[in-house]
């Protein structure tokens, strides 16, 4: 088992450095998703500390996905735009992070208790910003050990320091190359939303992962990423959020084109689009 500790000012710089460290220092592990001829993954335990997560530039050009996809994923985490896809009995999603954070469901005999953990954190932070108790969890012990795709995100922890909200997140498992940047971006967007609701400024961000890994099944694809990031200066590998704004609007439009989206998340996407356009 090896670990990496990355400290950088900006989000894309931290992600790139962490992915490269995983590739260069990661140990060889098989995974439960490997096909017979797949190489072992490269795997480390990671702490990625971003000191200025809302400083620009905020986006890495080489993350796998489009800028509109980044906006759609943001909508999933913050607004629950796809919570209505949760239907494991029909072979659909088993949960979403939004559902677990904003509508945590605890069986109580014949009933179910619903808890908005983010609202509870906001209330706790308003009452005492330096509290150590403002956390939201996703893991459901009575359920997640027996499902096919248990939650990777485990916990969010918030604390106000010098009038700014810091956030630490803990993941049990994180695809370093194909998922981690989108995770980090969306989680910091949630951090900003909580800070606004508490009425404080934006602080630092720590992304802690038990298994930060690069799957052997896409090593060939990853070689393209390596040649890109090692062959260009950093200013040619990043985007600002201002550059991404029209693509984020496209992402909102794509979400609004989904006829089955419920009214409440649709309203939030409309508000988000207006803010981006304004």
Q: CA of 174: how far to CAs of 32, 69, 186, in Å? A: 14, 18, 14
pLDDT range class, residue 231, cuts 50, 70, 90: confident
Write the burial class of residue 182 (CB in 10 Å: 0-12 exposed, 13-18 middle, 19+ buried): buried
Q: What is the pLDDT of residue 144?
A: 93
Write the burial class of residue 211 (CB in 10 Å: 0-12 exposed, 13-18 middle, 19+ buried): buried
**DSSP annotation of 90:** G
Q: What is the pLDDT of residue 124?
A: 98
Q: Is the pLDDT of residue 131 over 90?
A: yes
Q: What is the pLDDT of residue 17?
A: 98
Q: How far apart are the first and last CA of the chain?
A: 49
The label of the residue with tokens 């909102």 reads 252
- Span 236-253, average pLDDT: 98
**How far apart, in whole angstroms, are the C-alpha atoms of residue 200 and residue 180?**
26
Of 17, 24, 46, residue with least CA distance to 170: 46
| Mean pLDDT of all residues belonging to the chain | 97
Helices (H), 103-179: 117-127, 141-144
Matching CATH number, 3-277, of 3.40.1380.10, 3.40.640.10, 3.30.572.10, 1.10.1040.10: 3.30.572.10
Q: pTM for this structure?
A: 0.97
Give per-residue pLDDT as tens, 49-72.
999 999 999 999 999 999 999 999
Q: Is 213 helix (H, G, I), strand (E, B) or coil?
A: strand
Q: Is the pLDDT of residue 114 over 90?
A: yes
- Span 11-23, average pLDDT: 98
Domain locations along the chain = 3-277
Q: What is the pLDDT of residue 146?
A: 87
Range list of β-strands (E), the chain: 3-8, 27-29, 41-50, 59-60, 104-108, 111-115, 135-137, 153-161, 164-175, 201-214, 238-239
Token readout for 115 is 């808890």
Q: Is the pLDDT of residue 237 over 90?
A: yes
Give per-residue pLDDT as tens, 188-230.
999 999 999 999 999 999 999 999 999 999 999 999 999 999 8
């Amino acid at each position: 088992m090896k670990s990496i500790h990355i400290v950088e000012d900006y989000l894309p710089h931290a992600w790139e450095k962490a992915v490269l460290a995983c590739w260069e220092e990661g140990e060889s592990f098989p995974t439960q998703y490997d096909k017979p001829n797949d190489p072992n993954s490269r795997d480390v335990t990671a702490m990625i500390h971003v000191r200025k997560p809302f400083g620009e530039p905020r986006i890495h050009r080489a993350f796998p996905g489009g800028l509109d996809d980044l906006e759609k994923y943001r909508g999933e985490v913050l607004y629950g735009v796809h919570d209505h896809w949760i239907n494991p009995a029909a072979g659909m999603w088993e949960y979403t992070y939004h559902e677990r954070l904003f509508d945590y469901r605890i069986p109580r005999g014949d009933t179910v208790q619903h808890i908005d953990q983010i609202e509870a954190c906001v209330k706790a932070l308003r009452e005492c910003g330096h509290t150590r108790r403002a956390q939201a969890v996703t893991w459901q012990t009575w359920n997640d050990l027996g499902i096919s795709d248990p939650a990777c995100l485990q916990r969010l922890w918030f604390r106000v320091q010098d009038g700014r909200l810091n956030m630490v997140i803990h993941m049990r498992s994180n695809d370093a190359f194909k998922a981690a940047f989108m995770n980090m971006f969306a989680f910091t967007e949630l951090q900003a939303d909580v800070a606004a609701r508490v009425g404080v400024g934006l602080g630092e961000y720590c992304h802690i992962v038990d298994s930060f890994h690069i799957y052997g099944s896409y090593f060939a694809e990853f070689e393209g990423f390596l040649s890109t990031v090692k062959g260009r200066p950093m200013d040619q590998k990043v985007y600002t959020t201002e550059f991404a704004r029209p693509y984020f609007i496209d992402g909102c439009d794509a979400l609004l084109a989904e006829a089955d989206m419920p009214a409440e998340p649709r309203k939030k996407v409309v508000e988000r689009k207006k803010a981006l356009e304004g």
